[in-house]
Amino acid sequence: MSTGRYRDVRLGGRGLRVAVRRNPRARRISLSVRGGEVRLTLPPGASEATGLAFLKSRREWIERRLQEAPEPVPFRPGAAVPFRGRPRRLCVEPGQRDPLRVEDDRILLATAAGCESTVEGWLRREARLAFEKAVARHAAVLGVEPRGIAIRDQRTRWGSASAAGRLNFSWRAVMAPPFVLDYLAAHEVAHLREMNHGPRFWGLCRRLCPETDAAERWLKAEGPGLHRYGR
């Protein structure tokens, strides 16, 4: 299991927010750029200072990758935001009773004021409802009982399970197709029986979610792009 935090770094005259994580299974310092985010992974024994020095030595590579990254998409009227795997256009509908409602391929807002907070808050609530339902279903199959579910903005992982039985998920998963969110719930519930990624763990995942392999492929190819949406 890896742990991480963010660091603000000056790189070539520009400010850069870097996700720094320590992974006990890593054998070397590594860098990646996903969805416009720079990630620095440190193996055991490597200091953060050494890792940041390595990051600065790869400045040109990082800048090139950032230039290739897709532009961020703020939650503002006119933007197309994915929800449950389908793009939905943010539109303002003055006079409607609800602050936000979904109609076909549109997300209708009563006002543009506070749009970003309104949309993110709604997505977080939808994510919690979807994960609570999926986790309850998978937990019943395995006969386990999670100690709680937290919805966060986890930039370096889609979900996690603690030894105490608490499950954490990224709210951004609700933008992915439903089978992907279902897999993430199954993955963390399986950890309540197997706190590893061995053959028995993957057997439980595939038992709970037959689309495990397809979901893994989707997350690898499309998942990083979900981090471009919102603030």
More confident: 15 or 186: 186
pLDDT at position 205 is 97
Q: Is residue 9 over pLDDT 70?
A: yes
Residue holding tokens 């090139």?
64
pLDDT at position 1 is 40
Instruction: List, for residues 25-71, the tens digit of each pLDDT value.
Output: 889 999 988 766 788 999 999 999 999 999 999 999 998 888 776 77
Compute the distance between CA of residue 115 and CA of residue 124 in angstroms, rounded to an integer. 14
Mean pLDDT over 13-23 rounds to 84
* 37-42 β-sheet, strand order: 3-11, 14-22, 37-42, 30-34
- From first CA to last CA, the distance across the chain in angstroms is 27
Domains of the chain in start order, with CATH, are: 3-68 (no CATH), 80-119 (no CATH), 122-228 (3.30.2010.10)
Q: Are 210 and 203 in contact (CB under 8 A)?
A: no
Amino acid at 218: W
Q: Establish how many alpha carbons lie within 13 A of residue 152's alpha carbon, considering only the half-sphere containing its beta carbon.
A: 14
Token couple for 8: 């603000």
